């Protein structure tokens, strides 16, 4: 069994379910915090923590003196900022997602790879080239590189998610930094993605991080423009004090 869930998680999940099933429609007002606490048999602090989680992800809004309300434009769940899995994004768009292995091998880390992964130059890296398809059509071509020691023996022919491989090796990916650049398809890239030369593509250079923000994998990806929508939930940055001098 996995870990027992906390009162906060149970309450958050319950509220989340009630948002989805229409108990609290968009724009409606929730019971006040004292009442929610009494109903759920927990303290108000616990209610606040559960509600805060849903406020931060954009499902609820709070107005001091007025109440807690269901947000009017619920956020996308499978967006670039909130997920690291393209397969789930493709499935979320209602299409059948598949992963095709193009090539794989072991290579020595270049200077820049080594720096990005915080390993010594020359460290052996596993490199995996794959294509993701949506309803059979190529939509993402990627080259992933990760230290060979993270890949258990016998898993070198990667057909499944590299995130799962990393998680089993104790390096669960918890976030990433991604750099976006538009490019045009040419040569081998155009052939692999089955598009014409000159077709616009979105290129993403990404560093995957574990929960301590330690780098565990590098990804270079090329996305076909109109295959599925790439969405980003943007949030206003909190005001920050000026850096000290």
Query: Considering the complex, what minimum distance in angstroms separates the CB of residue 212 from DNA?
Result: 10
Residue 137 touches a copy of itself, criterion: CB under 8 A: no
Residue 58 touches a copy of itself, criterion: CB under 8 A: yes
Toward a copy of itself, which CB reaches closer, 154 or 238? 238
Residue 237 touches a copy of itself, criterion: CB under 8 A: yes
Residue 170 touches DNA, criterion: CB under 7 A: no
Residues 13, 223: Cα–Cα separation, whole Å: 33
**Backbone CA torsion sign across 234, 240, 244, 245:** positive
Residue 180, CB-side half-sphere exposure with 13 Å CA sphere: 9
Toward a copy of itself, which CB reaches closer, 101 or 232? 232
Query: Considering the complex, what minimum distance in angstroms separates the CB of residue 146 from a copy of itself?
Result: 16
Binder of DNA out of 15, 19, 24, 68 (CB under 7 A): 68
Rg (CA), the chain: 22
- 87-96 long-range contacts (CB < 8 A, ≥24 apart) are 87/132, 87/161, 89/228, 89/230, 90/132, 90/134, 90/139, 90/228, 93/134, 93/228, 93/229, 95/134, 95/135, 95/228, 96/134, 96/135, 96/136
Phi, psi of 176 (to 5 degrees): -165, 155
- Binding-site size for DNA (CB under 7 A) equals 25
Binding mask 171-210 for a copy of itself (x = CB under 8 A): --xxxxxxxxxxxx-------------x-xxx---xx-x-
Under DSSP, is residue 32 helix (H, G, I), strand (E, B) or coil? coil
Residue 73's binding partner out of DNA, a copy of itself, none, with CB under 5 to 8 Å set by partner kind: a copy of itself
Q: How far is CA 37 from CA 33, 58, 68, 187, in A?
A: 6, 21, 14, 61
Q: What is the DSSP string of 49-104?
A: HHHHHHHHTTSEEEETTTEEEE-SSPPPSS-TTT---HHHHHHHTT--EEEEEEEE
Q: Which stretch binds a copy of itself (CB under 8 A): 28-36, 141-149, 150-158, 222-230?
A: 222-230
Residue 2 touches DNA, criterion: CB under 7 A: no
Residue 115's binding partner out of a copy of itself, DNA, none, with CB under 5 to 8 Å set by partner kind: none
Q: Which parts of 28-67 interact with DNA (CB under 7 A)?
A: 30, 32-34, 41-46, 48-49, 62-67
Under DSSP, is residue 183 helix (H, G, I), strand (E, B) or coil? strand
The residues that touch DNA, with contacts defined as CB under 7 A, are 3-4, 6-9, 30, 32-34, 41-46, 48-49, 62-68
The residues that touch a copy of itself, with contacts defined as CB under 8 A, are 13, 16-17, 20-21, 53, 56-58, 61, 63, 69, 71-78, 80-84, 118, 173-184, 198, 200-202, 206-207, 209, 211-215, 223, 225-226, 229-238, 240-241, 243-244
């Amino acid at each position: 069994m996995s870990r027992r869930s906390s009162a906060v998680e149970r309450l958050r999940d319950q509220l989340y379910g009630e948002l989805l099933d229409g108990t609290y429609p968009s724009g409606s007002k929730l019971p006040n915090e004292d009442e929610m606490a009494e109903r759920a048999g927990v303290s108000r602090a616990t209610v606040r923590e559960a509600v805060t989680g849903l406020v931060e992800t954009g499902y609820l809004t709070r107005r001091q003196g007025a109440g807690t309300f269901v947000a009017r434009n619920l956020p996308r769940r499978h967006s670039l900022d909130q997920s690291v899995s393209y397969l789930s994004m493709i499935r979320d768009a209602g299409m059948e997602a598949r992963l095709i292995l193009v090539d794989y091998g072991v290579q020595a880390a270049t200077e820049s790879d080594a720096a990005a992964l915080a390993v010594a130059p020359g460290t052996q890296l596993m490199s995996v080239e794959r294509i993701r398809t949506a309803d059979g059509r190529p939509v993402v071509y990627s080259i992933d590189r990760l230290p060979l020691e993270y890949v258990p023996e016998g898993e070198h022919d990667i057909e499944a998610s590299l995130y799962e491989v990393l998680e089993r090796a104790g390096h669960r990916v918890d976030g990433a930094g991604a750099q976006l650049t538009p490019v045009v398809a040419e040569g081998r890239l155009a052939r692999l993605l089955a598009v014409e030369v000159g077709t616009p593509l979105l290129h993403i250079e990404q560093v995957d991080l574990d929960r301590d923000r330690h780098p565990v994998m590098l990804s270079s990806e090329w996305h076909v423009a109109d295959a599925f929508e790439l969405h980003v939930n943007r949030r206003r940055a909190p005001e920050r004090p000026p850096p000290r001098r």
